[in-house]
Amino acid sequence: MDARIVNALIGSVYEILREVLRVDPKVGKPTVTKSIEVPHSIVTVIGITGDMEGNLIYSFSRKTAAEIVSSMMGMEYKEIDDLAMSAIGELGNMTAGKLAMKLEGFGKKVEITPPTVVSGENLKIRSFGMILKLPISVFKEEDFDLYLSVVEDTKG
């Protein structure tokens, strides 16, 4: 995967988490993987279309989700209700939007789809193309998994 895309992803994630959650996230080493493993119970998927096709996928536990929503709302939030799910989707939307802007900075015009947020146990996600995994530590060690799958990069 183009190093500019990897760097744009890392920068986007770091900037949004720092700005929105007011934390200093630690971004782990990106790795290329063949599949998406979902050890957590909440997953958000945002489609990417245009010069680059694929998905931005992230997951975390319900506990981490409650911490994220609490930080976003500025008050303690324990229940993962519709409002919390909307906030979680918006975090993904902001991250994908920042990524789209950074990609456009080096000539890749992309559009993002509205986020889809799924909650449940034993979730499985199948994605095609090259998959980049980015482990992130927000509140504790690697409590946030992010994947970027790229099926087609029409502008090399």
Where residue 136 sits, what CATH number does that domain have? Answer: 3.40.1550.10
Which 3 state secondary structure label does DSSP give 121? coil
How confident is the model at residue 114, as a pLDDT?
A: 95
> Which has the closest alpha carbon to 88: 109, 60, 52?
60
Left, alpha or beta for 100 (phi > 0: left; psi -120 to 50: alpha)? Answer: alpha
Instruction: Determine which helix (DSSP H) or strand (DSSP E) holds 123, and give its type and residue range.
Output: none
- In total, how many domains does the chain have? 1
Q: What is the pLDDT of residue 142?
A: 83
As a whole number of angstroms, the distance between CA 139 and CA 154 comes to 37
Looking at residue 79, what is its pLDDT?
87
* pLDDT score recorded for residue 44: 93
Spatial distance between the Cα atoms of 86 and 83, rounded to a whole number of angstroms: 5
Domain that holds residue 107: 3-153
Mean pLDDT by 10 residues, the chain (156 residues): 89 94 92 84 92 91 92 90 93 95 93 93 81 92 90 63
In this prediction, residue 37 carries a pLDDT of 80
What is the pLDDT at residue 40?
A: 82
pLDDT of residue 143: 87
